[in-house]
Amino acid sequence: MHLSCLEPRASVSESSRESFRQLAKCAPQVIPSSDVSSLLDEVTEFCLEPLPAALDGRLDRYWQDVFERKNAENQVKYPLLTKLVKALLCLPHGNADVERGFSQNGRVLHDRSSLSLESVNGIRHTLSFAQRYGSDPCKFEIGNDVVKAVRNASKRYSQRMEQEKQALKRLRTGAEQSTPSTSEADRQNEAVGAERMLKNAELLIERGMKQKNFGDIQSGQVLLMQAREKMTASMKRLESVNKAKKNEHN
């Protein structure tokens, strides 16, 4: 209810002062209780200003204009109001589907804040598909088409992993030909760690398939994606090291 005061026309209405006061009380970590009175003074002054002639309905543009206003000393005109509104605009909001999406992302990203957008989407698609069968993999019917698709995917995956390992091996060999610096040693350690993660992911998936443990399979897939991302980054860094070495010799 009180968040409606962020709407341009409502922000300068008589009721906005009380709304901003209530919102400040709900966010003492943003506006300390000792500053609420000063905030209300800013709101009172803000309400006396006329609205911009052209309003396109975009809250971010409207409030950005407010944030950029200066006083006679060329300082931010409404510092406390700016601080509070910025915090309020950071709050996620939307319909039920959007809120469920935020909750699912929160569970997916728990202790995995380094996942890329592609990895998150992949996990979300897998979870969404599993819900068709009540998240019970035993209910999923495996036909000839599925078996063929899995075999092809497994073959392509093995080929890609072998190519990445060979490329990483070549880069590591090139970097080891000269005395490695601290930075080079760090890059090599990252590559070794990525290779170890790949092996652990493969073992976890293999164990899950043998024991029909969907949780192990899912965890292995997540670890596999993380390992591939880490390996790709390590390969790029090692490649940069090798190029730098060649340039020095030339």
Q: How many helices (H) and strands (E) does the chain have?
A: 10, 0
The pTM for the full model equals 0.41
Q: Report the candidate in 53, 78, 41 with the shortest Cα–Cα distance to residue 63.
A: 78
Looking at residue 163, what is its pLDDT? 84
Round the CA-based radius of gyration of the chain to a whole number and report it: 28
Contact 232, 165 (CB under 8 A): no
pLDDT, mean over the chain: 78
- Whether the per-residue pLDDT at 113 is higher than 60: the answer is no
Residue located via tokens 């728990």: 110
Crossing angle, helix 36-47 and helix 79-89, to 10 degrees?
Answer: 90
What spatial distance separates the first Cα and last Cα of the chain, rounded to whole Å? Answer: 68
Looking at residue 149, what is its pLDDT? 82
Annotate 109-132 with DSSP letters as a single string.
TTT-TT--HHHHHHHHHHHHHHHT
Mean pLDDT of 216-226: 72
Looking at residue 37, what is its pLDDT? 93
Report pLDDT digits (tens) over 61-105: 888 888 999 988 899 999 999 999 999 888 766 655 666 666 766
- Is the model more confident about 128 or about 215? 128
Report pLDDT digits (tens) over 18-48: 999 999 998 899 999 999 999 999 999 998 8
